[in-house]
Amino acid sequence: MSEIVSDKCLDVLFRTARTHSAWLDKPVSDVTLEALYDLLRAGPTSANSSPARFVFVKSPEGKERLRPHLSAGNTDKTMQAPVTAIVAYDTAFTEFLPKLFPHEPDAPSWFEGDEEKMFMNAFRNGTLQGAYLILAARALGLDCGPMSGFDAAGVDASFFPDGRWRSNFLCNLGYGDPGLLPPRNPRLDFDEAARIV
Ligand SMILES: Cc1cc2nc3c(=O)[nH]c(=O)nc-3n(C[C@H](O)[C@H](O)[C@H](O)COP(=O)(O)O)c2cc1C
């Protein structure tokens, strides 16, 4: 049986964690990004298909490639962030199923020839893996700033010209400036968002 994590962990992952837009001048090492991936990849996906792909944009050149595709409100904070993750998905994720789901050699055939099913699996599970990225980042002491305000076609043309990977959302990563956070917005109450049947 799983153990319940400490109150402190719940704060770090959920209760006091915030979406950040202002970043301290503190770099994120490649070792930290590798540790981040090592954690997030453990999260569950359908048939262990693991369709998410990640580009960690750190260099000034990479940031300049992102810049023209960002919405106005997302530009400055993305240029300032130590890292911007492009959370993408692999449209040909079934290629890896023999490695990822070896006890079911027929697994690729569950998807092949069905574009809609391929997309649904890649997008649903790739999005889940993006959420695992946010929680794994928080667990490692990083702050996150996820964003959907960007031109996905433009990012894809620049970063994924062969068309196989496609961007889902962006996520700034770094150490946020807690002094520049706006008040937190409310969440829905249980009765508004959930039912027990
Ligand atoms: C998938 C996703 C897309 C988002 N897109 C944007 C965006 O384009 N620009 C922005 O300023 N915030 C964006 N946000 C941030 C949300 O508004 C923010 O996470 C939410 O209001 C909760 O804020 P809190 O974590 O500080 O409580 C996005 C968040 C998510 C998860």
Residue-wise pLDDT for 140-176, tens only, equals 999 999 999 999 999 999 999 999 999 999 999 999 9
- Closest atom of ligand 1 relative to the 130 alpha carbon: 1
What does the mean pLDDT of the chain come to?
97
> Residue 122 — very low, low, confident or very high, per pLDDT cuts 50/70/90?
very high
| Burial degree of 22 (CB within 10 A; 0-12, 13-18, 19+) | middle
Atom of ligand 1 nearest to the CA of 77: 11
Q: Is the pLDDT of residue 89 over 70?
A: yes
Q: Is the pLDDT of residue 90 over 90?
A: yes
Cα–Cα distance between 184 and 196 in angstroms, integer?
Answer: 27
Listed residue (138, 196, 147, 142) closest to 13, CA to CA: 138
Confidence band for 47, pLDDT divided at 50, 70 and 90: very high
Is the Cβ atom of 87 under 6 angstroms away from ligand 1? no
pLDDT at residue 70 in the model: 98
The pLDDT value given to residue 2: 78
Dihedral sign, Cα of residue 130, residue 31, residue 155, residue 121: negative
Q: Are 152 and 167 in contact (CB under 8 A)?
A: yes
In this structure, of 1-15, 16-30, 88-102, 146-160, the range with the lowest mean pLDDT score is 1-15
d(CA 40, CA 54) in angstroms, rounded, equals: 11
* Atom nearest to 147 CA in ligand 1: 5
pTM above 0.85, yes or no: yes
Q: How far is the CA of 147 from the centre of ligand 1 (A)?
A: 6
Between 1 and 58, where is the model more confident? 58
Instruction: Identify whether the C-beta of residue 85 lies closer than 8 Å to the C-beta of residue 55.
Output: yes
Neighbours of 141 (CB within 10 A): 9
**80 token code pair:** 């300032």
Task: Please report which residue ranges of 21-176 form alpha helices under DSSP H.
Answer: 30-40, 60-66, 72-80, 97-100, 115-139, 152-159
What confidence category does residue 132 fall into, taking pLDDT thresholds of 50, 70 and 90? very high
For residue 144, list its beta bridge partners: 19, 173
Q: What percent of the chain has pLDDT over 70?
A: 99
What pLDDT does 1 receive?
63
Q: How confident is the model at residue 43 (pLDDT cuts 50, 70, 90)?
A: very high
β-sheet with 83-90: strand ranges across: 52-57, 83-90, 165-174, 143-147
